[in-house]
Amino acid sequence: MPSNNESPIDQSDRKKKAAKDRKASAEDLYSLKSCRSSMTYDNTLIDEIQARIGYNVLIKLFECGRGGEKTLTSVVQAAEITTLLDCLKLVFLAQPSCIEIDGPINICGDTHGQFSDVLRLFDKSGYPHRANYLFLGDYVDRGRHGLENILMLFCYKLIFPNHFFLLRGNHECPSINKVYGFYEECSKRYEKGGIKVWEEFQDTFSTMPLTAIVGQRILCMHGGISPRLNTLDKLRMFQRPNYQPSHDQIEIDILWSDPSNTAKGWSANQRGVSYTFSPDALKKILNPLSIDLVVRAHQVVQDGYEFFAQRRLVTVFSAPFYCGQFDNAAAVMSISENLVCSFQILRPKKYFPKRRIQLSST
């Protein structure tokens, strides 16, 4: 933390050093054996060429991250993004619709374009070459750096496909991110070709998995459960690509539903999409599935995480000082090899005057 007496020159030197440290971290991660060796899923080869594509873009992103003096559009061309996304589609489709993994793993909720805060989360919980990660969606919209945020996470997915997992959120759907900021960000920052970049992202989002199961007992998704969820095989059988999930699909509930202590069973969601569900409704779904805990995101919570239904569900939110308006903390949920859960909390940095307002849905 800089002192109040730090000169502008000292601040500049500190920012340059931070950027250099992150670049060194990226170089270190690529030197690992896991990045050099070829990796396979069934019949799809994820080779060093694809990892190198992710690595090259990642290095450039770190140059314009915290303390960086370069802008994204000056270092990453639209054609590079297209190449990156083409690789990502192959990676996502080569893996199951429901990711089944074991601990240890760190789980993060919404990050909404808060690129510098995701770097802070990695500073605190470990960069992906040292820790496994599962993100629960909503990488774009709201925040000012959705492109940097989603590109960094996509780079890590290319480099560490078996240890870094990204689920789709409701903001990774064209009907939402065309309205809430990402479309405008792409079209303005990449004036020539920006709309095509946005369209390429939508194609890639359509291939992303929607759910994950950790240690056979912990079910993870962006939104919540569905009244139509009576077997885990339904999650495993989701068809992809799915450009825009429709209201009659179970996928829409996985992306949109919310827990509610005031709901009576299943109630209409005030968002206008999907349902809210009561503690009893949650337990009736989970018990036959032999699921102990649901981990989801989708709602801002004051302390970064919040339990529901006698700890059968937890909401994790990972965008501190959300939108510059809420004074919420962010959380990273860590699940050990033995499925012991703990939380690391990231307190908000105040970029604007503090203005506390009542928390609401995202």
Nearest Cα to Cα of residue 259 among 247, 246, 274 = 274
Annotated catalytic residue, options 129, 145, 171, 222? 171
- Decide if 319 contacts 347 (C-beta within 8 A): no
**Catalytic residue status for 129:** no
CA–CA separation, 78 vs 199, rounded Å?
12
- Decide if 286 contacts 274 (C-beta within 8 A): no
Burial class, 1, CB count within 10 angstroms (exposed 0-12 / middle 13-18 / buried 19+)? exposed
Provide the annotated active-site residues.
Answer: 171
